[in-house]
Structure 1
């Protein structure tokens, strides 16, 4: 090759690489989605268990409040959201609250289902509750005897009435229980108070 054409060949080669690279690079690069939601209490996979049937990418809006001596010393919450296909505003699917609790940890509402071995708590189609192991409250900065994780999800579809008897094997109950069990487990690990 003639030396006078070498700079032109290099310039054209570099331009070609730039064009190919630009065509594969996304215009609107999004940051990677967080792997955990709700103050590190839920994996994305578990957070997605509860679905309103309309699909959409899952995200969370988190908040935290530290109260005074008569208020909650620990109060963290998040609303799990799903993206709407026809709107920029996500819709709320359920809420998870982490708070100190001075009530009886063995309380169970009528028709509720126990969470299973190793967990103190219960689940219903629209709500579930799990208590963190003893010792978590002090590690999280509370003088209350318990820290409770509460999930609140709408369960009654339009046109349906609440029933006196619930199906204990309903998927909503299993999903609600799975969410609060994981939240209690992950928070206990995070604060070093696992049973």
Structure 2
């Protein structure tokens, strides 16, 4: 048999092995997305912090919009819900999403700016935190910033008896964990 006919199959086998190794090799992105909720942004414990007090099992829906980007994290909104007993419709607790942007939103009324080298603000009903400066490039985003936005559902606000301080504390924990886990996935933390 002529050896020149064996070169192409050998190259194809090596290429297939390299592709399989890259796909199966563990990475922070794959590990966090496998063990956490909302594309790896939230642990189940933290996801349950903002709660309308009406019972039900925690559920998460990752709704992928029609937008297609370099990464599904930019085209997915995570809806954190409570599923009541008896098959009634899920109740929205809050949403979390990450977006590339070139301009930052002004803080909402009643929001507190983050300190300790963090960029963003936390409010009782909405919060925005920017990922560290190196993240847009690591995430292949064509923007200056990547912002994680948290929007709290009205039912949670009512359950907390409009206690803005309690809502802001829980919101801070949720949005910072989401930002920190995204930075860890893409190895772009400060």
TM-score by shorter chain over 0.5: yes
CA–CA distance in 2 between the matches of 1:151 and 1:132?
A: 14
| Alpha-carbon distance, 1:87 to partner | 2.3
Give the distance between the partners of 1:134 and 1:59, measured in 2 at CA.
Answer: 32
The SS at the match of 1:148 is strand
Change (3 A) 1:35 1:48: farther
Shift of 1:52: 0.4
Q: What is residue 80 of structure 1 aligned with on the other side? A: 80
Which ranges of structure 1 fall in alignment gaps of 5 or more residues?
Answer: 1-33
SS in 1 for 2:158: coil
Cross-structure match for 1:56: 56
Q: What does residue 119 of structure 1 align with? A: 118
Alignment of 1:84-163 (within 5 A): 84-104=84-104, 107-155=106-154, 156-157=157-158
Cα distance in 2, alignment partners of residues 68 and 87 from structure 1: 33
Q: Could you tell me whether the CA contact under 8 Å between 1:37 and 1:59 is conserved in 2?
A: no
Change (3 A) 1:87 1:116: farther
CA distance in 1, matches of 2:36, 2:151: 19
State the Cα distance separating 1:140 from its structure 2 match: 1.3
> Residue 98 of structure 1: SS of its match in structure 2?
strand
Counterpart-to-counterpart distance in 2, 1:50 and 1:115 = 19
The higher radius of gyration belongs to 1
1:6-57 superposed Cα distances (whole Å, 9 cap, x missing partner): xxxxxxxxxxxxxxxxxxxxxxxxxxxx741110000000000000011222
TM-score by length of 2: 0.70
**Residue 178 of structure 1: aligned partner:** 173
> In the alignment, is the contact (CA less than 8 A) between 1:75 and 1:100 conserved in 2?
no
| RMSD across aligned positions (CA) | 2.8
Partner of 1:188: 183
- Give the Å deviation of 1:119: 1.8
User: SS in structure 2 opposite 1:117?
Assistant: coil
* Deviation of the 1:138 alpha carbon: 1.6
2-structure distance, mates of 1:60, 1:120: 27
Compare relative contact order (CA 8 Å, sep 6+) and give the higher one, 1 or 2. Answer: 2
